[in-house]
């Protein structure tokens, strides 16, 4: 049974070599693949196509990030470490789904699909936040189309992958969580899969041991174009708003890991601190 203690350890292990001794996203992808017990896929299979796609995506992201880092322009938050965080967080969420007997969680194509989605969800992100609805998410989907085609992804998987990446627009998160609350959680349903992707995307930013560094990184990233918003990110009031309205967890896997309790403790502490300053 996976635990948050194990997840915290895995996330800290990613941070020790970052960025000077970074082993590369392709290695993180391979380790997550192995952690999910995904065997070498049969050539021509659905899982094989997803594997080829995921490999190509992480190689592109790693190369782009390394080049931008050398020039001093890799985004402080939307960088290779964030992509690695989401791959690891998704791996733990899938393991939790399996422990709970969630439908489709043990299927090899499901594991391959979610890792491929996390690999590409912020594909070549320029940094900053959307100026128009789903701006960067839609751009990632468009830029990934040639890679989907060259890997031979089935139309169904191209559709699910695009749907889930678009769902990571922060403005769309709440509606997805509200929609699945009355459903039986099944990873064969793309909206349930999208919720798991949303959770993996913000999980590291929710955990106490990693949230501070990630919040500071996002503030640094926003500072050149949104200085006021960047300053507000560091306020406890903003952290409270994030936990209440953005860090949403509805999947049985997230609940089993205790993420609502982690959120609740943070929210109580912040409210207590704010009450002392009034």
Q: Containing domain of residue 154, as a range?
A: 4-204
**What pLDDT was estimated at residue 5?**
97
In a domain, 26, yes or no: yes
Q: What is the average per-residue pLDDT within 269-273?
A: 96
Ramachandran angles phi, psi of 42, nearest 5°: -70, 135
Using the predicted structure, report yes or no on whether residue 23 has a pLDDT greater than 90. Answer: yes
Mean pLDDT of the chain: 97
Q: What is the average per-residue pLDDT within 195-203?
A: 98
Is 266:208 a contact under the CB 8 Å cutoff?
A: yes
39 or 210, higher pLDDT: 210
In a domain, 13, yes or no: yes
CATH number at residue 85: 1.10.1300.10
**Residue in this structure with the two tokens 């203690």, named with its chain if needed:** 5
In a domain, 275, yes or no: no
User: 3-state DSSP helix/strand/coil percent for the chain, to nearest 5?
Assistant: 70, 0, 30
Using the predicted structure, report yes or no on whether residue 277 has a pLDDT greater than 90. Answer: no
Alpha carbon 33 to chain centroid, angstroms: 16
Is 194:147 a contact under the CB 8 Å cutoff?
A: no
In a domain, 211, yes or no: no
3-state DSSP assignment of residue 118 = helix
Number of independent structural domains in the chain: 1
In a domain, 122, yes or no: yes
pLDDT in tens, 53-103: 999 999 999 999 999 999 999 999 999 999 999 999 999 999 999 999 999
pLDDT in tens, 110-144: 999 999 999 999 999 999 999 999 999 999 999 99
**What pLDDT was estimated at residue 1?**
86
Predicted TM-score (pTM) of the model is 0.98
Q: What is the average per-residue pLDDT within 197-216?
A: 98
Tokens of 55: 């490999």
Using the predicted structure, report yes or no on whether residue 278 has a pLDDT greater than 70. Answer: no
**What pLDDT was estimated at residue 260?**
94
In a domain, 278, yes or no: no
pLDDT in tens, 26-38: 999 999 999 999 9
Q: What is the average per-residue pLDDT within 234-239?
A: 97
In a domain, 66, yes or no: yes
Give bridge partners of residue 186 from the DSSP assignment. 103
In a domain, 231, yes or no: no
Quickly list H helices, 167-189: 173-180
**What pLDDT was estimated at residue 250?**
95
């Amino acid at each position: 049974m996976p635990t948050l203690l194990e997840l915290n350890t895995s996330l800290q292990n990613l941070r020790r070599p970052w960025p000077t001794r970074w082993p590369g996203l392709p290695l993180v992808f391979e380790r997550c693949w192995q952690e999910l017990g995904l065997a070498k896929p049969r050539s021509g299979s659905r899982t094989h196509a997803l594997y080829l796609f995921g490999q190509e995506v992480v190689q592109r992201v790693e190369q782009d990030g390394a080049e931008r880092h050398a020039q001093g322009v890799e985004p402080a938050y939307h960088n290779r470490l964030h992509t690695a965080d989401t791959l690891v967080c998704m791996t733990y969420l899938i393991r939790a789904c399996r422990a709970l007997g969630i439908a489709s969680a043990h299927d090899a194509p499901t594991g391959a699909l979610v890792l491929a989605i996390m690999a590409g969800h912020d594909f070549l992100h320029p940094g900053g936040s959307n100026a128009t609805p789903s701006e960067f998410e839609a751009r990632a989907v468009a830029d990934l189309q040639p890679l989907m085609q060259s890997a031979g992804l089935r139309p169904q998987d191209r559709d699910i992958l695009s749907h889930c990446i678009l769902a990571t627009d922060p403005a769309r998160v709440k509606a997805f969580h509200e929609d699945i609350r009355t459903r039986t959680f099944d990873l064969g349903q793309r909206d349930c899969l999208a919720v798991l992707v949303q959770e993996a995307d913000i999980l590291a930013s929710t955990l106490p041991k990693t949230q501070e560094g990630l919040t500071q990184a996002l503030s640094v990233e926003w500072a050149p174009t949104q200085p006021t918003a960047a300053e507000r990110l560091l306020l406890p009031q903003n952290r409270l708003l994030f936990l209440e309205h953005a860090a949403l967890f509805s999947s049985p896997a997230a609940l089993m890991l205790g993420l609502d309790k982690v959120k609740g403790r943070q929210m109580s502490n912040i409210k207590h601190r704010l009450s002392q300053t009034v």
